[in-house]
């Protein structure tokens, strides 16, 4: 009897183990894959789609998927880097026609950053699908906010096809102070905010962080205005989601995406963050750095035709084969880079106004405190401790809007 009991327990454990493995092995599917959930919402309607090259469904782009399904795609709105994701960072893009499909393209990173009333007059429903990387200064969440505000100011329903956040397994960094709000960080969230686009959109609505007309319309109990988020399948915030499409020209691979919340801060300094190389945000350096054998020379390339220190040999750090910390910004590395720079007074790019709110580093950090902490020689532990009250408050708010099981 005892042997039978042991055998039964072993079988049960084996079954449970097999089920767990099968569950872990289930592929993560973005919202765009759940066509049965959203195609009925778009049928017989004129659709406006905000997207770029990252919105794929299997081997096809979402544009092709919608058109093949008989959806009337009226126009496509595009963010920074354009529909194909090849424009330089900060480069303005123009309206046009997609050569492959004949669909009209309206740039929201050129003459304007949100759809106009005229743009939306011939649209019945709006759709949003872009792969984000989960860092506050990556501009797609700002574009999402503007898109939401335009949708509801003009009484248009919005469908968000959610995608996993590759940095969605942690929350870290200083919470942005509103005097430092800009297109590279609009709301009071930390550098790494641990939300998908769909969850972030729910937070914008729930916290009433949109423009007054949009907030008023979406929060009317009898309003026909609606937000529909098509959730990912088999995803949670413990997932280490990977993909093989560069979300923008200077984030060429997953290693760069994992380092980005740390090394993007270097954009606010005179050092090169590796733009103009094959490993942007993984090559960091400057001609004046001493004691480093690694060197690189940045120069013009697709998506980075101009940037800092082009044609100059820079010495510094090669992170292209180093794993980024899994659940935190690498403050020790930022401190090391600052300390290695020989002329500390020249490390941060100084604006003409010399106002704290105009320093690009402060806009990236979301405050002026981090710069002063680096200048005063504070340790990584002390700096991180100063973040904790803000992070604790943000996490309490964040949890209200989660669509997926959290990492803690």
Q: Are residues 124 and 71 in the same domain?
A: yes
Residue 212 sits in the same domain as residue 260: no
Decide which of 242, 266, 299 is a domain's last residue.
Answer: 242
Q: Report the alpha-carbon angle 154-165-257, nearest 5.
A: 115
Per-residue pLDDT band for 100 (boundaries 50, 70, 90) equals: confident
Residue 376 burial (10 A CB sphere; 0-12, 13-18, 19+) = exposed
Which runs of E-coded beta strand occur in 325-388? none
Same structural domain for residues 106 and 188?
Answer: yes
Domain range for 128: 31-242
Residues 207 and 289 reside in one and the same domain:
no
Does residue 408 fall inside a structural domain? no
pLDDT confidence of residue 264? 97
87 closest CA partner among 224, 216, 250 = 250
97 and 186 together in one domain: yes
227 exposure class (CB count in 10 Å sphere: 0-12, 13-18, 19+): middle
- Both 232 and 314 in one domain: the answer is no
Total number of domains constituting the chain: 2
pLDDT (mean) for 104-108 = 89
Q: What is the mean pLDDT of the chain?
A: 90
| Residue 258 and residue 237 share a domain | no
For 225, list phi and psi in degrees, rounded to 5.
-65, 140
Q: What is the pLDDT of residues 181-229, one digit of tens each?
A: 999 999 999 999 999 999 999 999 999 999 888 877 776 655 667 899 9
What was the pLDDT predicted at 5? 44
In this prediction, residues 172-179 reach a mean pLDDT of 98
Interval 50-81: pLDDT, tens: 999 999 999 999 999 999 999 999 999 988 76
> Which residue intervals of 164-196 are DSSP H helices?
none
Task: Kindly state whether residues 373 and 276 are assigned to the same domain.
Answer: yes
* Domain stop point among 213, 242, 271: 242
Per-residue pLDDT for 149 more than 90? yes
Q: 175 near 366, Cβ under 8 Å?
A: yes
Minimum mean pLDDT range among 102-116, 126-140, 344-358, 369-383: 102-116
pLDDT at residue 13 is higher than 60: no
d(CA 16, CA 25): 14
Question: Given 242, 267, 298, which residue is the final one in a domain?
Answer: 242
Residues 215 and 264 in one domain: no
In a domain, 406, yes or no: no
88: pLDDT strictly greater than 70: no
Q: Is residue 392, in this structure, part of any structural domain at all?
A: no
Residues 267 and 344 in one domain: yes
Do 223 and 104 lie in a common domain? yes
Cα–Cα distance between 404 and 262 in angstroms, integer? 25
Is residue 249 domain-resident?
no
Asked if 182 and 223 sit in the same domain, the reply is yes
Please give the average per-residue pLDDT across 381-398, as a whole number: 98
């Amino acid at each position: 009897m005892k042997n039978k009991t042991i055998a039964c327990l072993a079988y049960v454990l084996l079954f449970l183990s097999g089920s767990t493995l099968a569950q872990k092995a289930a592929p993560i599917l973005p919202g765009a894959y759940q066509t049965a959930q959203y195609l009925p919402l778009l049928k017989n309607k004129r659709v406006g789609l905000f997207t770029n090259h990252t919105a794929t469904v299997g081997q096809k782009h979402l544009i092709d998927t919608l058109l093949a399904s008989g959806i009337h795609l009226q126009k496509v709105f595009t963010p920074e880097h354009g529909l194909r994701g090849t424009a330089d960072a900060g480069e303005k893009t123009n309206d046009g026609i997609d050569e492959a499909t004949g669909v009209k393209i309206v740039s929201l990173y050129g003459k304007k950053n949100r759809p106009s009333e005229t743009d939306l007059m011939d649209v019945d429903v709006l759709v949003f699908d872009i792969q984000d990387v989960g860092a506050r200064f990556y501009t797609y969440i700002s574009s999402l906010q503007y898109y939401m505000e335009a949708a509801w100011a003009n009484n248009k329903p919005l469908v968000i096809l959610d995608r996993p956040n590759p940095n969605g397994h942690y929350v870290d960094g200083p919470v942005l102070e509103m005097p430092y709000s800009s297109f590279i960080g609009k709301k009071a969230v930390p550098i790494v905010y641990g939300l998908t686009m769909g969850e972030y959109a729910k937070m914008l609505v729930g916290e009433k962080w949109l423009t007054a007309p949009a907030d008023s319309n979406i929060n009317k109990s009898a309003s026909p205005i609606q937000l529909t988020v098509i959730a990912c399948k088999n995803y949670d915030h413990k997932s280490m989601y990977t993909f093989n499409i560069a979300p923008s020209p200077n984030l060429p691979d997953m290693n760069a995406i994992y380092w980005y919340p740390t090394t993007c801060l270097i954009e606010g300094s005179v050092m090169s963050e590796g733009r103009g190389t094959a490993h942007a945000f993984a090559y960091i350096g400057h001609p004046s750095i001493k004691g480093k054998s690694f060197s690189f020379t940045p120069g013009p390339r697709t998506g980075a035709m101009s940037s800092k220190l082009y044609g100059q040999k820079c010495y510094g750090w090669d992170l292209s084969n180093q794993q980024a910390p899994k659940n935190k910004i690498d403050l020790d590395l930022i401190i090391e880079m600052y300390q290695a720079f020989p002329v500390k007074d020249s490390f941060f790019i100084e604006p003409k106004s010399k106002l704290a709110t105009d320093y690009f580093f402060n806009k990236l950090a979301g405050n002026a405190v981090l710069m002063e902490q680096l200048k005063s020689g504070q340790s990584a532990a002390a700096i991180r401790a100063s973040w904790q009250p803000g992070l604790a408050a943000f996490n309490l708010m964040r949890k209200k809007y989660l669509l997926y099981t959290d990492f803690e």
